[in-house]
Structure 1
Amino acid sequence: MPVRAPRICGCGYKVASGRQCACEGRRAAERKARAEANRPTARERGYDGKWDKERAAYLAAHPTCRRCGAPSKVVDHVIPHRGDRKLFWSRSNWQPLCTSCHSRAKQAQEKRS
C-alpha cells in the first residue's frame, strides 16, 4: 500500500503522514482550553437535581440505546437545545443512548452541523 510523503509543518519540522506535529498539538490544546473556559458549567446549562431525577426516570423507562441496542446511560437531546428551556424539557426531544453512541456518533454528527 502506498504511503504519502511526509509534510513540512509551519514550524519547519518534517511530520510523517497522518501524524500531528507537537506544535499543532499544543495549539489545539490551547484552543480547546480557551473554549472550555468560556463554556458555562453543566449546572448553569440546566443539568441540575431536577434533571438528574428526570433523566433517571427516562432511562428506567427506556433501558436500551436507540442506535445500537446496548444498555442506555445517557439521555440525549435529539435537537440540541442551545439554552432553549422549552426544548430542553421536551421529552419528545429526548433519546436514550449508550455512552459510546453519544460520545462518538452523535457528537460527530453535531460537529458537522
Structure 2
Amino acid sequence: MPSKPPRVCGCGKRVPFGKRCPCQAKRDAERKARHDQTRPSSSARGYTGSWDRAKAEFLREHPFCRRCGERAAVVDHKTPHRGNQDLFWDRSNWQPLCTTCHSSAKQREERRAIKRT
C-alpha cells in the first residue's frame, strides 16, 4: 500500500508524512512555555483545598463520566468560569468527566467556541 510522500518544512528539511519537524516541535514548546509563564497558578485560579474536598464529594455522588460512562476523574465546569468565583462554585455548572473526555473532546469544543467569538 503506497504511503504519502514526505513534505518539505519551512526550514528546508524533509519530514516524513504524519511526522513533525524538530523545528516545529521546538517552536510549539517555546510557545507553550511563554503561555505558562503568564498563566496564574492553580491556587490563584481557585483550585485550593476547598476545591479538592468539593470535587471529591461531587465525584462520590456522580462517579461516572457524563459523556462515555467510564469512571469519572475530573469535575468539569460546563461553562468556563474564567475566574468568576460565583460560576466556579455553582454546582449546577459542574459535570463529571473521565480524563480522556475532558482532555480531548471538551477541550476541542472550548477551542472551537473561542474561535467563533
Over the residues paired in the alignment, what is the CA RMSD in angstroms? Answer: 1.3
Counterpart in the other structure of 1:27: 27
How far did residue 4 of structure 1 move?
2.9
- Give the Cα–Cα distance (whole angstroms) in 1 for the partners of residues 7 and 71 of structure 2: 44
| TM-score normalised according to structure 1 size | 0.92
**5+ long unaligned stretches in structure 1:** none
Q: 1:2 Cα shift?
A: 4.9
CA distance in 1, matches of 2:52, 2:28: 32
3-state SS of 2:3 partner = coil
Q: Cα deviation per residue 1:34-91 (whole Å; 9 max; x = unaligned)?
A: 1111111110100111111111111111111111111111100001111111111111
Query: Hey, what's the Cα distance between the residues in 2 that align with 1:72 and 1:25?
Result: 32
Partner of 1:111: 111
Which aligned runs of 4 or more in structure 1 are off by greater than 4 angstroms? none
2:11 matched to which residue of 1? 11
Q: What amino acid maps onto 1:34 in structure 2?
A: R
Q: Which amino acid aligns with 2:93?
A: N
One-letter identity of the residue aligned with 1:35: H
- Normalization by structure 2: what TM-score? 0.89
Shift of 1:3: 3.2
- Residues 15-40 of structure 1, C-alpha deviation per residue, up to 9 Å, x if partnerless? 12221111111001110111111111
Question: How many angstroms apart in 2 are the aligned matches of 1:13 and 1:73?
Answer: 42
